[in-house]
């Protein structure tokens, strides 16, 4: 073989080696890029899944709180309505007792023989009316306070629960 052929063959071998090395370098670069892309894609996918789960969880919690709020207000409304009915009956009873006492006092005054008897009946009626109004007024006031407290209880419990959840989430974040 001639020197030129040997040199050409050696040069060809170097070119082939350079092409092979270049090909390997390109393959490694493509493989590294693909791996980097896959890692970035997987990280983005994981972050999106976490954000989606967090959003759904937050939405579910908001729905639960809203439902409990509605339930608390319905319960409070029912308690208030029942209490208002009881208070209304107490007022009606007071009005009925007062009317009956007034009729009795009027009959007694018409049956009185003297002016002193009329004044005594009227004084007794007035004192009894005032005593009844004070006593029944206190009962009705106590009933009103009880109804207000009972009606506010479900709302207060729900507000405390909701605030507790928010504070717990804030502390966890």
What CA–CA distance (Å, rounded) separates 100 from 128?
12
Residue 34's pLDDT band (cuts 50, 70, 90): low
How much is the pLDDT for 10?
A: 67
How much is the pLDDT for 60?
A: 76
- Mean pLDDT for 122-136 is 93
How much is the pLDDT for 115?
A: 92
- Please report, rounded to a whole number, the percentage of residues in the chain having pLDDT higher than 90: 45
89 or 11: which leads in pLDDT: 89
How much is the pLDDT for 101?
A: 93
pTM above threshold 0.85:
no
- Mean pLDDT for 100-109 is 92
Check whether 122 has a pLDDT greater than 90: yes
Domain ranges of the chain: 1-47, 72-173
Check whether 1 has a pLDDT greater than 60: no
């Amino acid at each position: 073989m001639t020197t030129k052929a040997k040199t050409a063959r050696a040069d060809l071998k170097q070119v082939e080696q350079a092409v092979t090395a270049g090909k390997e370098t390109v393959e490694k670069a493509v493989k590294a890029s693909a791996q980097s892309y896959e890692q970035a894609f997987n990280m983005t996918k994981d972050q999106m899944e976490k954000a989606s789960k967090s959003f759904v969880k937050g939405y579910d919690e908001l729905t639960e709180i809203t439902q409990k709020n509605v339930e608390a207000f319905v319960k409070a409304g029912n308690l208030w309505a029942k209490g208002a009915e009881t208070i209304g009956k107490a007022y009606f009873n007071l009005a009925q007792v007062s009317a009956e006492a007034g009729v009795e006092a009027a009959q007694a005054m018409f049956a009185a023989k003297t002016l002193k008897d009329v004044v005594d009946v009227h004084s007794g009626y007035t004192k009894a009316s005032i005593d009844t109004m004070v006593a029944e007024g206190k009962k009705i006031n106590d009933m009103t306070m009880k109804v207000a407290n009972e009606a506010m209880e479900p709302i207060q419990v729900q507000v405390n629960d909701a605030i507790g959840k928010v504070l717990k989430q804030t502390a966890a974040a």
